[in-house]
Structure 1
Amino acid sequence: MGVINIEDVQPGMVLAADLRTTQGRLLLPLGSPITSEHLRIARIWGITEADVQGVSEADAERDALSRLDPEVRKLLDALSGWRFSCCDLSLAPVRQLMRLFMQRAARGATRGKAADLVARYRGPRIPPDVLKAPLPAEKPTCADILKKELGLASLPTIFNEIVEAVKSPKSSAAHIAEVIGKDPSIASRLLRLVNSAFYGFQSQIDTLSRAVAIVGTIQITNLAMGIAVTTSFKGIPEEHLDLRAFWEHSIAVGVMARLLASHARVPGEERLFVAGLLHDIGRLVMVRNFPDLAADAVRRAMASGKPMDDVERVVWGFSHARLGSLLMHEWKLPEGLRKAVDMHHVPFKADAEVEAALIHVADVTAHALGFGHSGSRLVPPLFAEAWKRIGLPISILPTLAAQTENQMRDLMRVFLEDHAAVA
C-alpha cells in the first residue's frame, strides 16, 4: 500500500485507509474500491492524496508517465532538462523535485496542449543575442530605489499600528483584535485565512478576538502584516510582470516554509509563512521603479541559463533579496523576517539562520514544481548545505507538494481577491 496523489488514483484501486477530508469527514472507508465518481467528489472536497492497496508512490508515478503520448513525454523530458539546468542533478532532492515536476506537469497533458504546457512552464523564448547588449552605464543604488519606493508605497494606514502592536509586550489579544479590526479588508482576509485549509480548523472562527485567542497574538499580527504588504502592490502592468504568477509563487513559498518548519520542529511557523510570502518583494520594487532594467535582468538570466540573483548582481550591483530586506527594515518589520529574506539565496553563509535555509528550500521547491514564478522560469540551484541543515528526509517532498496544493486555492482567494483571474 502507499499514499499517492489523487490525480494518479485510477478507478478500481482499493483504499488501504479511510478517505477523509482535511476537516476529518469520512468520504469512503478503507477496503472500498474507488470509482470515477469517488474521485470527482474527492477533488471537490480538495483531497490531494489517498492511501491505496498494492500501489506505491513510485509505481503510480511510473504508470502516470507511461500513459503519456510518447511525443508529450519527449517534450516533458526536454522541458525538465531546461528548467533544471541551473541545478546540480547529483543531489537526490533535486532529482526527486524533477520527478515531481514531471508528474505534476503530466496531468492532463496531451499533444494538442503541448503549446500551453511550454507557455506555462518555459515562457517566451529569449534570443541569445540579448547577452551582447551592453550593461547600463549608470545603475540605481539601493538607496536610490528605497527613496523612490518609500514615496510610492501606500501601505494601509493600519500597518504601523500593527507593527507597534507586535513590538509591545503589553498588547493583549483584545487590543490586537481591535487594531486589526480597524481595517475591514485586512480583518476580512485574515478571518478567511484562519478558516481556510491553511489551518483546517473543524469549526468556524467568526471573530477576530477568537482568531487571536486560538492562533496567538504574535502569529496573527505577523499574518496581518503580510496581508497588509501584499495589498500595497497593485497596478503593475502585465507586460512588466505577471502579478498573479508572482503571488502564486510567493504564497506557495510561504506555505512550504511553514510546512517544512512544522516537520522540522522549527518554531514560528506563521513568521516563516510571512517571510516566504515576502521573500521576493525586492523584485516587485525593482519592476515598479525601473521596469526596463528589471526586464533586462530577466532576459539575461533566461538567455544565459544562470540563476536570477547572480544576474541581478551583475546588472544592478545587488540582488532582489538584499533590496527587499532593506525595504522591510524601513517598514520596521521584525528582524527575523528581514534576515530570512536577505539570505534566502545564500543560506550557507555563517551568519545565516535556519529560517534562511527553510525559505531557500521552499523557494527552490515552489519553482521546481511550477507554482507560479517571479520572472525567470529556471529553477534556482539548491544548496546541499541548506537541505542538510533543515534535517528532513527526501520522502517529505511528495507530501509537501500535496499539502501545498491543498492549501493554495483558498490562499489565492484570500490574497488576490481583487484579481478577476481568481474565480
Structure 2
Amino acid sequence: MNRKSIDELKAGMVLASDLVAGDGRLLLRGGVKLADRHIGLLRRAGVEEAEVIPAPSVLSEAELLAVEDYVREFFLYVNPDHPAVAAMFRIALDLTAVAVAEGRRLPDPAERRAANLEHLEDIFVRGLISPEAIVRHETELAGFPDIFFRIKEILEDESASADRIAKVVSTDLSLSAKLLKLVNSPLYGFSRGIDSISRAVTLVGGKELSTLALGVSAINYFKDIPPELVDMQTFWRHSITCGVFARLLAGTQSGLSPERFFIGGLLHDVGRLILFKKLPYAATEAMLFARENCLPLVEAELSVLGLRHTDIGKPLLESWHFPEGLAAMIDYHHDPMGYPNPLEPAIIHVADNLSNAVEIARGGMYVMPGLDEEAWDILGLDPEALYEAMERYSTQIDAVLDAFL
C-alpha cells in the first residue's frame, strides 16, 4: 500500500481503504478502482490524499505478459471477440495484475494435478442411479431446518402481515443476526442502522426479506461436507459473489425483485454439494479432470459422472418445494435458453461467469463455464454495465461475506 496526494492519483489506481469526508460521509469504499470522475469527486470534497494499492503499471513487461498468459488460460472455452467476454477478460486481467503487484504468486500449473482419492468412497455406483434417487436418499437422512418451511408458508400467503413475518424470522436468532448484518451492509446502503427484524421488514419489504431468509436458512443444511473435498469458504465465496452480481444485474431490468436473484445466485450450485456428500470420489475426480484438462467444471461433470450438478439441484429444490420461479433460475443457469422464460436464468448465467472471472485473481481453479451469447443479448446491456457492476460489487462483497462467513 502507499499514500498518494490528490495530484498523484491516477485513473486505474485502486483504493486501499474507505475514504470519508470531514463530516463523516462515506465518499468511496476501499477496493474501488479509481476513474477520473472519482478523482474529481475527491477534489470537490477537499480530500488531500488517499492510500492506494500499487497499480499494475509497477509490474515489468515480463510480469504483465505472465499475468496475461495466466488469465487467458481461463478463457479457452469462450468467444474472446464477444464484447461481454472481452469486458470480463479485462476485469480478470486488472484484478490479477493488482494481486501480483501486491505480492500474490500466480499458481503453478502443477498445483492443479490430482491428489490421492483412494480414501474416498461413493455411496452409489456412477451411472446406475438417477439424480432423483440420490436426492431422495439425502433428504431421507437429513432433516431440513423447520424455519425454512415456516418462512415458505409466509411467502405463499399473500395476506401475511409484516408483524407475522418479523415474528417468524425472529424466532431463529442466528438467522436474524445474519439478516440484520445483510440489511445493514452496503448491499442495501441504508443511511441509518437497522436494529430489528420488524424495522428490516418495513424498509426492505416483507416478501423480499422472507426470500432472503429462505435462502440463508437453506445454507444451514450443508454443514457436513467433507473438508478434504472442497474448501467451503471458497465455495460460499463464489456463491455469495454470484448472488451479489445477480442482484446488481437484476437491478438493471424492470419489474424484478433483486432479493430473489441474490438467493438464486447464492444457491446456484447446491446440486454440487449433494454430489460431494453422495459421490465424493466421483465428484473429486470430476474436479481434478477439469483442472488437469482446462475444462469447464460443468463439462467435466458430464464427462466423468454422466450428469451435471444442475441435474441434482433440480430434484433437490423440488423436494424442498422451493418457489418455482426461484428454482427455475437455478436449474437452468447453465442453459438459460432452454427455459420458456429465459431472462431470469440468464441473469444467474451471466453473474456466474462474471464471478468466475473475478475469482481468477484469487487463484481460481476452473476455466470460465462459457457465456451463452443469446442469454447476454436478452439482458440488453452494454458491456460497460459489467464494469459498473464490478465497481459496486467491490464496495459490498466484504460486508456481505462477513454476514455469512
TM-score above 0.5, yes or no: yes
Note the 1:22-421 alignment, pairs <5 A: 26=21, 45-46=29-30, 48-52=32-36, 64-110=55-101, 113-114=104-105, 117-118=106-107, 124-126=111-113, 138-349=127-338, 351-370=340-359, 376-416=365-405
State the AA in 2 paired with 1:12: D
Whether the 8 Å CA contact 1:286–1:320 is kept in 2: the answer is: yes
Residue in structure 2 matching 1:12, options 1, 7, 10? 7
Question: How many residues get paired?
Answer: 378
Secondary structure at the aligned position of 1:314 is classed as: helix
**Deviation at residue 393 of structure 1 after TM alignment:** 0.5
Query: Equivalent residue for 2:50?
Result: none
Whether the 8 Å CA contact 2:92–2:360 is kept in 1: the answer is: no
Provide the C-alpha distance between the structure 2 equivalents of 1:111 and 1:406, rounded to a whole number of angstroms: 19
> Cα deviation per residue 1:327-379 (whole Å; 9 max; x = unaligned)?
11111111011100111001122524201000000000000111799995211
168 and 303 in structure 1: CA distance in 2 versus 1, 3 angstrom threshold: same
372 and 283 in structure 1: CA distance in 2 versus 1, 3 angstrom threshold: farther
State the AA in 2 paired with 1:195: N
Provide the C-alpha distance between the structure 1 equivalents of 2:9 and 2:126, rounded to a whole number of angstroms: 65
Provide the C-alpha distance between the structure 2 equivalents of 1:75 and 1:315, rounded to a whole number of angstroms: 32
Give percent identity, aligned residues only.
Answer: 31
Provide the C-alpha distance between the structure 1 equivalents of 2:317 and 2:364, rounded to a whole number of angstroms: 21
Provide the C-alpha distance between the structure 1 equivalents of 2:32 and 2:211, rounded to a whole number of angstroms: 28
> Cα deviation per residue 1:46-65 (whole Å; 9 max; x = unaligned)?
46244436999xxxxxx944
State the AA in 2 paired with 1:125: R
Give the structure-2-normalised TM-score: 0.84
Secondary structure at the aligned position of 2:307 is classed as: coil
Secondary structure at the aligned position of 2:176 is classed as: helix
78 and 149 in structure 1: CA distance in 2 versus 1, 3 angstrom threshold: same
51 and 99 in structure 1: CA distance in 2 versus 1, 3 angstrom threshold: closer
State the AA in 1 paired with 2:96: A
Secondary structure at the aligned position of 2:129 is classed as: coil
State the AA in 1 paired with 2:73: W
> Cα deviation per residue 1:79-126 (whole Å; 9 max; x = unaligned)?
112111121112111111111111111114159642xx316xx78223
**Deviation at residue 170 of structure 1 after TM alignment:** 2.3
**Deviation at residue 250 of structure 1 after TM alignment:** 0.4
Whether the 8 Å CA contact 1:347–1:357 is kept in 2: the answer is: yes
Provide the C-alpha distance between the structure 2 equivalents of 1:282 and 1:173, rounded to a whole number of angstroms: 33
> Cα deviation per residue 1:9-54 (whole Å; 9 max; x = unaligned)?
88524699xxxxxx9964699xxxxxxxxxxx978x5462444369
Whether the 8 Å CA contact 1:357–1:390 is kept in 2: the answer is: yes
233 and 157 in structure 1: CA distance in 2 versus 1, 3 angstrom threshold: same
Whether the 8 Å CA contact 1:250–1:276 is kept in 2: the answer is: yes
Provide the C-alpha distance between the structure 2 equivalents of 1:380 and 1:373, rounded to a whole number of angstroms: 17
RMSD: 3.4
